[in-house]
Amino acid sequence: MTTTDLLPAPPPRAAARRALLAGSAGNLVEWYEFGVYGCFATVIAANFFTPQAGTGTGTGAGVQGGAEALVATYASFALAFFFRPVGALLFGHIGDRFGRRPALVLVVGLMTLATTLIGLLPTRADIGAAAPWLLTFLRVLQGLSAGGEFGGAVSLMAEYAPPGRRGLYGAWQSFTVALGLLAGAATAAALATALPAAALYAWGWRIPFLLALPLGAVALWLRTALEEPPGGPPSGPPAGSMAGPASATGTTDPTRTTGVREQARAVALGIGRIMGWSAAGYAFLVVLPSHLQSALGASFRDALLATTLVNLGFAAAILPAGMLSDRIGRRPVMLCGALGVAVLALPLLHLLQAPGTPAQVRVAAVLTAGALVGLLAGPGPAMLAEMFPRRVRCTGLGLSYALANAVFAGCAGLFITALATRTGNTAVPAHYAAAACALSVPALLTLRADDHREPLR
């Protein structure tokens, strides 16, 4: 491979902006749906996983049944995550072999179709036990498409990024995650405010899923007009046939080699670096609303308000964190986020559940929790893109992200809800996020100080 293969000419700014928009649009659709599903977890549980479907207003024995249905809802949620690695391999291969555009077009089309069909599904009261199975099947399709989305979108953004701005461009992937979650939470909050509980449980929950159709159509239109990043579709010898470059000290950096064994090591190291991001992100941003309701007795509206605030804190920190990582490196910014969650998660949750905590302190607590996750999510995409060469970038970074999310995010709702229900410990989400972030610190310490300055391979 020649030097020019490694260092393609920087793309025109207009093309880079179009790629950023097209990549971001699909992420927004994907995470809008996940935000909606998280916010409506208790409603979905009542309609699909409760044998005697109700309006969610019952008490007594219905509380235990509601907790069991919520666990079943999160089991469906987790199952979809375990299909993400399959999607990362499938669509990553397409992106690495045939180009970024066809992979990105396919994944946004599949995600839009599956999300829209959820809004049209008959409930358990309509067709019985087939309803939860149909919902789970559509969640599996979403898992496949989501698994391919991250690798393709981040590869596209990183490869189009101007010199010295990979952190910022990659941060847009995480920023549109925040926008999607915020859009999902805001839509759910608006419906909860506008509709009585009976109407919300009967048909109102369908509206946000059906809104994915026009959103997905716009994303599909943007992606069909995409051009491939500089250098065109990846080509050359099969992955695993080329050894990577040596570091400045003369030793081979395990995250900058391309042999099959080295790629596997890079995927494992990537998982370690983002496990805290995955666990804390889902514990705080997605699981929070149903946990506040089921474990702390909060109302649906109050839980949605808390979710909106934590996502605002998350969104506000992402782009500044990405830009800062372009200046000082990925390592210090991500370490700050991981250590912050490890130290502050439990005190912040205690502030939320303490009866005498002033409202402004509660607001500050949830904003802080979101911002700490943003410090991980801002530099994270660029950090992963820098770990893999072009010919395996979609697959490598997509698989790292999908596996980390399958284990530490997809299971978060199931684990937290089941353990909190069994033990009565309402601090389970904080312990979960703090432990995962503490375990990710050693992997983050392996980041090199100058990775953000080196060109993509």
Residue pLDDT, tens place only, 277-299: 999 988 887 777 666 766 667 67
Rounded Cα–Cα distance for residues 226 and 224 (Å): 6
Does residue 84 sit within a domain? Answer: yes
Burial of 220 (0-12, 13-18, 19+ CB in 10 A): buried
Is there a domain that residue 396 lies in? yes
Residue 176 lies in a domain: yes
Which residues make beta-bridge pairs with 246? 252
Residue 71 has what pLDDT?
63
User: Could you tell me if 334 and 380 are in contact, meaning their C-beta atoms sit under 8 angstroms apart?
Assistant: yes
Q: How many domains is the chain partitioned into structurally?
A: 1
| Residue 237 belongs to a domain | no
Residue 93's identity, in one-letter code, is H
- What is the per-residue pLDDT for 49? 76
d(CA 59, CA 373): 35
Q: How many CB atoms lie within 10 A of CB 241?
A: 11
Give me the helix-helix angle, 41-48 and 13-39, nearest 10°: 50
Contact between 417 and 74 under an 8 Å Cβ cutoff? The reply is yes
Answer yes or no: is 235 within a domain. no
On whether the CB atoms of residues 100 and 228 are closer than 8 A, the answer is: yes
DSSP category for residue 12: P
Q: Rounded to the nearest 5 degrees, what angle is found at the Cα of 442, between the Cα atoms of 445 and 335?
A: 55
Q: Which of 186, 99, 169, 63 is nearest to 390 (CA)?
A: 99
pTM for the whole structure: 0.79
Residue 180 belongs to what domain range? Answer: 12-229+255-453
Is 6 within a domain? no
**What is the reported pLDDT for 226?**
83
- CATH number, residue 431: 1.20.1250.20
Q: Is residue 236 part of a domain?
A: no
| Domain membership flag for residue 418 | yes
Residues of the chain with pLDDT under 50: 1-7, 53-65, 236-257
